[in-house]
Structure 1
Amino acid sequence: MNRIPTDTLVVVADGEGARIFRNQGSEAAISLHQYDLLELMNMNDDGPAGSMPSESSGKQVDEATFAKQLAHGLNQGALTQQYQHLVLVADPGTLGRVRPLLHKEVMQRMVAEVGKTLTNSPLEDIERALQ
């Protein structure tokens, strides 16, 4: 795993929500502190990312919509200098939906990408996965 600098934004997401952390520790000793929790909002105002097959379930549409909202938030944060470094932890499906929507500014700030489902995991498990 790459070194995770102090104050790195760490986003732990799945198709339904995301926990937002900052590394308050050092590169050698990660210490994550959660400061936000994101959930799907304004579903009727915001559609899914990309085209969805007509046989998609409501859950699949919701997950694609959340991925689009998450990518938009990360793009906005990078473009307004809200973070310098980013670690994105998400299940492979969510990563696959978010990645093509990320602005090049976000990609340049990406320190690491982890394809695991850790959204509901204890903080210690998330920190361990990043070391």
Structure 2
Amino acid sequence: MTMKIPQGALVVVANGGSARVFSNVGDDRNVTLKQEALLEGMNLDDEGPSGSMPSESTASQLDEATFAKQLAQGLNEGALKNRFAHLVLVADAKTLGRVRPLLHKETQQRLIGDLAKDLTNVPLDTIQSALA
């Protein structure tokens, strides 16, 4: 991947059930990530997924779609409140496919790149290497 990730950029590494939120404390040549938050076990009981889901969807598929919706809502809120200038999204292909269409225009303008890979449960240096 050849993407310049500026200092201060928000890097979100997610899968269907959790997300690790980092900021780049390095520069665009040497990505150094600092974990800011871990999002998991969000309350999925009171909400459903965005859009329509096939009626034969399993409970875990509904939870994954709902998590993707909540993640997108959080990113949209952060962009609209100017909490970050640049965003990199790293997620498995299914989650990425669910989150991208839900991103507000303001969030999309801040999205400098994405990577379709599940890196939520790998060590920090592996994530940094994948982004280098």
TM over 0.5: yes
Identical counterparts, % of pairs: 59
2:118 matches 1:117: yes
Shift of residue 42, structure 1, vs aligned partner: 2.2
Counterpart of 1:21 in structure 2 is 22
Match of 2:58 in 1: 57
Task: Please report the TM-score for the alignment, with normalisation by the length of structure 1.
Answer: 0.97
Amino acid at match of 1:75: N
- Over residues 47-94 of structure 1, what are the superposed CA-to-partner deviations in whole Å (9 max), with x where a residue is unaligned? 112111111111100000000000000000000000000000000000
AA aligned to 2:61 is: Q
- Quote the residue 1:66 is aligned against: 67
Q: Partner amino acid for 1:20?
A: V
- Range moving further from structure 2, 80-89 or 47-56: 47-56
SS in 2 for 1:18: strand
The runs of 4+ residues in structure 1 deviating greater than 2 Å are none
Give 1:36 shift. Answer: 0.1
What SS does the corresponding residue of 1:88 show, helix, strand or coil?
Answer: strand
Three-state SS of the structure 2 residue aligned to 1:11 is strand
2:95 and 2:19 map into 1 onto residues whose CA distance is: 11
What are the superposed Cα offsets for residues 13-40 of structure 1, whole Å, 9 maximum, x if unpaired?
A: 0000000000000111110000100124
- Listed as ranges, the gaps of 5+ residues in structure 2 are none
> How much is the aligned-residue C-alpha RMSD, in angstroms?
0.7
Contact 1:40 1:66 in 2 (8 A): no
